[in-house]
Chain A
């Protein structure tokens, strides 16, 4: 569905040349659900905009939905659906009018566009809103309308740029129910960006992480967490001396990372923590040390990012929307 080779984008921002994307190789097969993560300015939006034909790549190739993004961007746009960060429907337009327009924009005859509009409004539980101006809808309803607009031409590949940002947990869950139902029904390939790491962890089958314009990780969330971040083991020991011994043993025996000893407590990070812990406790017992408390905590995708880059993705979440705007605006600098 997506095949890129050495995809790059450089643009000029005030007199500086910015390499936003530096050689991205990415393959997404039919039916996959991929979450694309990265901090602000990492090249996430730029990559997405190249894949959707909004921005022309500087070099490299991108075949999206069977079309070359550089030579046939109209072909790419025919084959994909794109749900951007903003609101897709015009404020003063009726919900159904926008749906019909969207069908026509993809070449459906007006009558077929009307039928399709009604069908999708029904699917996304918006039928009652058909004759309302889109500005009067609630946040959740507007987002569902965005999804409906993106599905009009039954795209085999759907891009979602932060689909759930700004929604409350209930609406977020509702949105996901709809997205997953669409996927189930039409076998749609989904490629999404999100700032909610838990969401990527829970929903995506595959996580691709981009930083400084390069892909630095690409695997299932489970494997990424297990191999890159591992689990955090925290042990309470009778006294600091025992803790120091325990720490030395952890270092030798288990391949522990981020080892830390504070008073009688030892914490470290290790792959497959739940398997390592019993083994480790037994070794400690053999050395005459009895742990008083033992705990493993599974890692998060943020831990993965932290391990890979030494930075946290989460710190950026607060400034997320702002930053994304900057990145988008960065693109437009190209135009000037």
Chain B
């Protein structure tokens, strides 16, 4: 059970600063909240939108956006700790290397879920009506995406350990195309055909569709299955790259 114990130790360590000062969590929620408040209302005026309330369409997407904005940056903390020496200190302990990554990723997932629940709670009074079972499954899917994206971010941090400035360059460069080409903010069908074609190559497109279906309660829809497949793929790739980096970065 040592790997599990080690992961718990790292999870607790990474979470402690947040537990000591939970207000910090709100800051990383700021960006999605701004979109929720200032972009959401615009949607009701856009023609060609799928039916139903714009909240119904937009809130599941915002949760995913939370995962992208919050979790893709998590590697930067690791990068900082690689520079200062605290990562080295943990690597000299007998802890399992993969558990160190797992513990860090677990912290990202837990924070993501806490923020997601908060956003759902904020939007229900505004008119968002999540399907209870679907919402639960949707949060599960979100957690899986968070796990994959967080691990990828750690892998990126390890790859950038000697060129710190590269981290945010790569992260920002990838973030916006992925975001816009997933149909997260506006349906891709509104754009030219090539956008839908490129969007079909973006795993996030499937996740966004699955999230919307789940929160609407159409749990048995095939798009949900594709969403899980895309998220699982992301998690497998992220975790294997991250674990590989973690083993190699210091050894």
Q: Judge whether B16 and A104 touch: CB under 8 Å.
A: no
Known: A54-B92, A84-B89, A106-B93. A91 touches B84 (CB 8 A): yes
Inter-chain CA distance A74–B9, complex, in Å, is 17
Please pick, from B17, B86, B91, B95, the residue contacting A54 in the complex, using a CB distance under 8 A: B91
Please pick, from B16, B88, B95, the residue contacting A105 in the complex, using a CB distance under 8 A: B95
Stretch in A94-102, A185-193, A229-237, A269-277 touching the partner:
A94-102
Q: Cβ of A249: which chain B residues have Cβ within 8 Å of it?
A: none
Q: Judge whether B249 and A335 touch: CB under 8 Å.
A: yes
Chain B: minimal CB distance from A214 (Å): 24
Chain B: CB-nearest residue to A86: B85
**Interface assignment of A151: CB less than 8 Å from any CB of chain B:** no
Q: Cβ of B88: which chain A residues have Cβ within 8 Å of it?
A: 54, 84, 86, 88
Q: Judge whether A87 and B86 touch: CB under 8 Å.
A: yes
Chain B: minimal CB distance from A66 (Å): 14
Interface size on A, residues (CB 8 A): 35
Name the residue among B17, B88, B161 with the largest chain A CB count within 10 angstroms: B88
**Interface assignment of B47: CB less than 8 Å from any CB of chain A:** no
Chain A: minimal CB distance from B27 (Å): 13
Chain B: minimal CB distance from A106 (Å): 6
Q: Please report which residues of chain B, range 127-171, place their CB below 8 angstroms from some CB of chain A when the two chains form the complex.
A: 161-162
Q: Cβ of B81: which chain A residues have Cβ within 8 Å of it?
A: 90
**Interface assignment of A332: CB less than 8 Å from any CB of chain B:** yes
Chain A: minimal CB distance from B107 (Å): 13
Interface of B, secondary structure class, is: helix
**Interface assignment of A52: CB less than 8 Å from any CB of chain B:** yes
Chain A: CB-nearest residue to B92: A82
Known: A85-B85, A86-B86, A88-B86. A97 touches B13 (CB 8 A): yes
Name the residue among B2, B85, B93, B95 with the largest chain A CB count within 10 angstroms: B93
Interchain pairs with CB closer than 8 A, number: 86
Q: Cβ of B5: which chain A residues have Cβ within 8 Å of it?
A: 104, 107
Q: Judge whether B13 and A93 touch: CB under 8 Å.
A: yes
Q: Cβ of A63: which chain B residues have Cβ within 8 Å of it?
A: none
Chain A: minimal CB distance from B132 (Å): 36
Q: Judge whether B6 and A54 touch: CB under 8 Å.
A: no
Known: A93-B13, A105-B6. A74 touches B86 (CB 8 A): no
Inter-chain CA distance A149–B85, complex, in Å, is 12
Inter-chain CA distance A146–B248, complex, in Å, is 25
**Interface assignment of A89: CB less than 8 Å from any CB of chain B:** yes
Chain A: minimal CB distance from B223 (Å): 40
**Interface assignment of A44: CB less than 8 Å from any CB of chain B:** no
Chain B: minimal CB distance from A323 (Å): 16
Q: Please report which residues of chain B, range 1-58, place their CB below 8 angstroms from some CB of chain A when the two chains form the complex.
A: 2, 5-6, 9, 12-13, 16-17, 20
Q: Judge whether B250 and A105 touch: CB under 8 Å.
A: no
Q: Judge whether A105 and B85 touch: CB under 8 Å.
A: no
Please pick, from A91, A94, A332, the residue contacting B16 in the complex, using a CB distance under 8 A: A94
Q: Cβ of A101: which chain B residues have Cβ within 8 Å of it?
A: 9, 12-13, 16
**Interface assignment of B173: CB less than 8 Å from any CB of chain A:** no
Q: Judge whether B94 and A74 touch: CB under 8 Å.
A: yes
**Interface assignment of B80: CB less than 8 Å from any CB of chain A:** yes
**Interface assignment of B225: CB less than 8 Å from any CB of chain A:** no
Inter-chain CA distance A85–B16, complex, in Å, is 25
Chain B: CB-nearest residue to A73: B251
Q: Cβ of B92: which chain A residues have Cβ within 8 Å of it?
A: 52-54, 77, 80, 82, 84
Known: A53-B92, A54-B91, A332-B162. A97 touches B85 (CB 8 A): no
Please pick, from B91, B93, B250, the residue contacting A102 in the complex, using a CB distance under 8 A: B93
Binary CB contact string for chain A from 205 to 246 against chain B (1 if under 8 A, 0 otherwise): 000000000000000000000000000000000000000000
Q: Judge whether A107 and B94 touch: CB under 8 Å.
A: yes
**Interface assignment of A183: CB less than 8 Å from any CB of chain B:** no
**26 contacts across the A-B interface (CB closer than 8 A):** A80-B92, A82-B89, A82-B92, A86-B83, A86-B84, A88-B86, A88-B88, A89-B86, A90-B84, A90-B86, A91-B84, A93-B16, A97-B16, A102-B89, A102-B93, A104-B5, A104-B12, A105-B9, A105-B93, A105-B94, A107-B5, A107-B94, A329-B162, A332-B162, A335-B248, A335-B249
- Of all A-B residue pairs in the complex, the 9 with the closest CB atoms, nearest first, are A86-B85, A88-B89, A105-B93, A335-B248, A101-B13, A104-B9, A82-B92, A92-B17, A78-B94
Known: A77-B94, A94-B16, A335-B250. 4 other contacts (CB 8 A): A77-B93, A82-B89, A86-B83, A87-B85
Contacts from A to B (Cβ < 8 Å)? 52-56, 74-75, 77-78, 80, 82, 84-94, 97-98, 101-102, 104-107, 146, 149, 329, 332, 335
Contacts from B to A (Cβ < 8 Å)? 2, 5-6, 9, 12-13, 16-17, 20, 80-81, 83-86, 88-95, 161-162, 248-251
